[in-house]
């Protein structure tokens, strides 16, 4: 069974670069500017699970085994999420950003890197409770088709709904969270009405372009997996996608500090990483 040093040697640096280039050339997914630590962690895990002994063996399998390639793409993707993740953030949005959104006759929200959809449904619930859902469109995007399919389905394990209920309550929920899903044995099926104003789409932050003019963009805990150059590129993408006065919400460990665009935003809240594009 391979150990950590296999992906921490000088030769492995070359192997990893060749592997990421191979993935890009063969499948069009670009992980070349992802955080080095993230890539090494995921590759180490795949080596242990597969019983392979080197990154070069991973590359061979990626090029010649579509099933293995699909598994590795899932490994490298970022799918950590939950309903009302970081409840105080959602409470802040409810109390401080919703009043701004209420000034628009029509609201366009982009949830970039939506993963399996939990945070998209969270935003849909929040908009419903604040009377904004019917004049909103949520564009929920990810490059991971497997994650997008799960998001579209809106079916999650029932056992985790207790935790999500607690998150919802801490986020200032106004109803019973059970009103928003149907329990079916060991599964919870999200209310179909929550999908009415959601557009699910494949979009790759690394390689794709501007995603229309948005009043709000949420991309939380995704940029931390990118290196500095890629972070700057994606931040420019968000800036160009926002209307003047539009809201950008990042993750708790992400910031616009030292970004070339820092001066083009007003920081609405330092703790919750919420910014407003200046006019």
Q: Where are the domains of the chain?
A: 4-76, 87-277
70 Cβ contact list (under 8 Å, min separation 6): 146
pLDDT digits (tens, 9 = 90+) for 44-62: 999 998 999 899 999 999 9
Please choose, from the candidates 184, 154, 185, the residue with its C-alpha nearest in 3D space to the C-alpha of residue 83.
154
Strands, DSSP E only, in 103-195? Answer: 107-112, 136-142, 155-157, 181-184, 187-190
Q: Output the pLDDT for position 129.
A: 98
pLDDT digits (tens, 9 = 90+) for 169-189: 999 999 999 999 999 889 999
DSSP 8-state assignment for residue 34 = B
DSSP 8-state assignment for residue 198 = E
Report residue 29's pLDDT band, with 50, 70 and 90 as the boundaries. confident
User: Using N-to-C axis directions, what is the helix angle for 36-50 and 55-64, rounded to 10°?
Assistant: 80
Give the range among 6-15, 23-32, 36-45, 138-147 with minimum mean pLDDT. Answer: 6-15
Is pLDDT above 80 for 4?
A: no
Is pLDDT above 50 for 272?
A: yes
Whole-angstrom Cα distance, residue 125 to residue 136? 12
Whole-angstrom Cα distance, residue 9 to residue 43? 13
End-to-end CA distance of the chain: 56
Tally of CB atoms within 10 A around 44: 18
Report residue 1's pLDDT band, with 50, 70 and 90 as the boundaries. very low
Q: Output the pLDDT for position 8.
A: 59
Pairwise pLDDT comparison (237 vs 260), residue with the higher score: 237
Q: Which CATH number fits domain 87-277: 3.20.20.150, 1.10.240.10, 3.40.50.150, 3.40.50.10320?
A: 3.40.50.150
- Exposed e or buried b per residue across 57-78, where buried means at least 16 C-beta atoms within 10 angstroms of its C-beta: ebbebbbeeeebbeebbebbbb
User: What integer best gives the mean pLDDT of the chain?
Assistant: 92
pLDDT digits (tens, 9 = 90+) for 70-81: 889 888 887 779
Q: Output the pLDDT for position 7.
A: 58
Q: Are 249 and 274 in contact (CB under 8 A)?
A: yes
pLDDT digits (tens, 9 = 90+) for 117-138: 999 999 999 999 999 999 999 9
Q: Output the pLDDT for position 33.
A: 87
């Amino acid at each position: 069974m391979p150990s950590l040093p296999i992906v921490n040697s000088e030769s492995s640096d070359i192997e990893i670069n060749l592997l990421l280039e191979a993935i890009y050339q063969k499948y069009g997914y670009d992980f070349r500017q992802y955080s080095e630590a993230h890539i090494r962690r995921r590759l180490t895990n795949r080596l242990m699970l597969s019983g392979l002994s080197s990154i070069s063996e991973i590359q061979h399998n990626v090029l010649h085994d579509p099933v293995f390639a699909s598994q590795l793409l899932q490994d490298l993707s970022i799918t950590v999420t939950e309903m009302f993740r970081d409840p105080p953030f959602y409470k802040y949005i409810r109390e401080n950003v919703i009043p701004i959104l209420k000034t628009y006759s029509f609201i366009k929200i982009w949830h970039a890197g939506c993963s399996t959809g939990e945070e998209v449904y969270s935003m849909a619930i929040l908009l419903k409770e604040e009377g904004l859902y019917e004049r909103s469109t949520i564009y929920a995007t990810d490059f991971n088709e497997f994650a997008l399919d799960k998001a579209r389905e809106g079916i999650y394990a029932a056992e985790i709904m207790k935790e999500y209920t607690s998150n919802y309550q801490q986020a200032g929920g106004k109803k019973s969270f059970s009103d928003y899903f149907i329990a079916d044995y060991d599964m919870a099926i999200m209310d179909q009405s929550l999908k009415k104003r959601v557009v699910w789409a494949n979009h790759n932050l690394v390689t794709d372009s501007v995603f229309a003019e948005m009043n709000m963009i949420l991309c939380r805990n995704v940029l931390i997996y990118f290196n500095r150059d890629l972070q700057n590129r994606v931040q420019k993408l968000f800036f160009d996608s926002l209307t003047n006065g539009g809201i950008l919400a990042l993750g708790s460990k992400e910031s616009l500090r030292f970004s070339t665009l820092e001066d083009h935003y007003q920081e609405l809240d330092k703790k919750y990483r919420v910014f407003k594009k200046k006019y």
